[in-house]
Amino acid sequence: MSPIIIAVDGTAAAGKGTLARNLARIYHLSHLDTGRLYRAVGFKMLKEGKDLADREAAVSIANSLTHEDFDNPALRNEDIGVAASHVAAFEEVRKILLVFQRSFADQPPAGMQGVIIDGRDIGSIILPAAPCKIFVTASLEVRAERRLKELHQKGINCIYEAILEDIKARDARDETRKASPLRPAEGAYILDTSTLGIEECVKKACAYVESKYPEARKHIE
């Protein structure tokens, strides 16, 4: 069987990461959360006191990233998500990170059946030939609730209204930027998770994956 390649895109806090981690476990896939790449650039911009509109600084930081930068637990904080969405609008930053993402997809580690990559432009720009493309979304209110819960579980203090505004602004930036604006890739399977629990989402996504890769479970059971 040829390697499984799954592109997962979607709006902020819609459940892309949870879905991708589950599919990676079920089908033995290597998973890349590309939000961490943009968040790493955003994190360093804030840490070094750079203006988020400073294109040159963002490009220089993107060029200097190392693997350790992607493992920082602080990357999941909401202010870093906001910073990420600013630097993600720079075409040059996206080009630098594109190289890393494509080389990840080209070399699934030994023992894995393939790769699953989640982000905003995976199905449209990074892996346009991926046979399996999923676009995950949910209502703004549901996403804000979920992000609030995630942050509270980590002991981070925040309020619903502020998270809602952050996500709204982030969606607007992601959808209206010139470089790779967020939208479902052609032919993507649209998964609205507003009224679905994790198990139901995974079940629906598995049915779609197996419609594209009927043998996906055969080699691992």
Binding flags for ligand CDP, 89-128, as an x/- string (CB under 6 A) = ------------------------------xxx-------
**Residue closer to ligand CDP (CB basis): 27 or 43:** 43
Binding positions for ligand CDP, 152-171, rule CB under 6 A:
170
Tokens 């906001």 -> residue: 82
> Is 15 near ligand CDP (CB under 6 A)?
no
Distances (CA, A) of 194 to 138, 146, 198: 4, 10, 11
Applying CB under 6 A, which of residues 85, 124, 137, 193 lies at the interface with ligand CDP?
85
Q: How far apart are CA 132 and CA 35, in angstroms?
A: 19
Other beta carbons within 10 angstroms of residue 176's beta carbon come to 10
Q: Which of 22, 30, 34, 137 binds ligand CDP (CB under 6 A)?
A: 34
∠146-71-51 over CA atoms, to 5°? Answer: 80
The answer to whether the CB of 147 falls within 8 A of the CB of 163 is yes
Residue nearest to ligand CDP (CB): 35
**In this chain, which stretch among 31-39, 46-54, 57-65, 158-166 interacts with ligand CDP, using CB under 6 A?**
31-39
Among residues 39, 50, 133, 146, which is the contact residue for ligand CDP, using CB under 6 A? 39
Report the alpha-carbon distance of residue 74 to residue 85 in Å, rounded: 16
